[in-house]
Amino acid sequence: MKMRFLMPLVFTFLVSFSWQQEAKANGRPTSIGTFVAKSTFVNLADASRHEFQPKGFAYLPPGTRFIAYSKTVKQRGIQRRLILTEDGLWGYIPDSTNHYWNPKRLSIFRTEEKLVVIRKRKPVTYKLSDEVEWNIKFTPSELYPFVREDDESVTVQLGKSKLPNLDADSTISVKISDRNLVRILDTATLQLVEPTLSAYSRSQLENVVGVQKACGTKQVRTLTVGGGAGFNLSKWFGFIKVQAEGENKTITDYGEQFNVARWYYKRSKLTSLHRVTKKQDCSTGKLNYSYVNPNGFEIEFRHDRADQNGFKFDKFSGRVLVTCADDYYRLSEYLERFEFESHEIPFVISRTAKFRNTHSASECEYD
């Protein structure tokens, strides 16, 4: 190990050890290390109590780092482990190496400064000679040693395990021209520590989780966990630290012809507020979801633009369908065009999309 790696690793170890001791003292789940996800769906978890959410989902692209915890639950015969992703999502992942690389598996590559994780399925042509070309098929969740990179490509090292025609000790360097196909992991900064992450959580005061406006009225009321009306609006707006008049207006501007519900989310150690809104047309019953980021930029996922963006919509919930990795990337790349923060995109998709066929991320499944 080179000396330049020493200080980051020592610092990470000291912070992690201190946090682990505090977690044990307070009865919180303790970390068992930093894992790296393979292509997989996970169930979301409540940020405060770490309760399993059977209807809440997220997709973890290959290469997503997460802290794994000692707490596990068993749902539908599958053991699932509590995790906190590097993007701030709490969840439960199927507790199997089919879904992640654990520290023991990653230790095989401890002499490598960087690793390359394949994120998308794509063939790459390797020219062995003027007469011979190999068509190499990369698939999601493959892991390779890094060789070099430039602005447009990444070169990885392949051996006999990928190319059976090679001699046992032989390797070749293969250039991957599409950088979106891969993620590069720096082994010196691989470790995550919970105090350094800003986790998303739903804003909740007593039983109130948001605000709502019914059809035929412009009156805004608080929204409770059970769906009913809660206490005084001014108390709620004071809690989430927004100007009541301005926030009221953003909802009443939808008009009396819409039924509107809005939920608020925050990130630990930050004051920013994230808004997720469900809007239902009172005459047609059609549902749309939108998201407003902390800077006030709103994006709405509309049915009438589905073909233009290549989205499929769930006809019952009005949400964009995510049934596989390709669906997720299509939605993620759409959000990237609007310059959303990289950590923000997994959160937005987890709260606005409808996840289906979550037993497998490799095959898309529609009605």
pLDDT at residue 39, rounded to an integer: 97
- CB within 8 Å of 172: residues ≥ 6 apart: 126, 157, 158, 163, 166
Q: pTM for the full model?
A: 0.88
pLDDT of residue 93: 98
* Structure confidence at residue 6 as a pLDDT band (50, 70, 90): very low
pLDDT in tens, 39-84: 999 999 999 899 999 999 999 999 999 999 999 999 989 999 999 9
Q: If you average pLDDT over every residue of the chain, what do you get?
A: 87
Query: Mean pLDDT, to the nearest integer, of 81-97?
Result: 97
pLDDT at 7: 38
pLDDT single digits (tens) 108-147: 887 889 999 999 988 888 877 778 788 889 999 999 999 9
Please tell me the distance from the alpha carbon of residue 290 to that of residue 306, in angstroms, as a whole number. 14
Strands 65-75 vs 31-37: parallel, antiparallel or unpaired: antiparallel
Average pLDDT over residues 86-94: 97
What CA–CA distance (Å, rounded) separates 153 from 158? 16
For residue 24, what pLDDT is reported?
Answer: 54
Q: What is the pLDDT of residue 110?
A: 78
Q: What's the pLDDT at 5?
A: 38
pLDDT at position 347 is 96
The CATH code of the domain at 108-189 is 2.30.30
pLDDT score at 306: 61
Residue 14 is predicted with a pLDDT of 44
Q: What is the mean pLDDT of residues 332-347?
A: 90
191 neighbors 12 (Cβ within 8 angstroms)? yes
Domain spans of the chain? Answer: 108-189, 200-355
pLDDT at 3 over 80: no
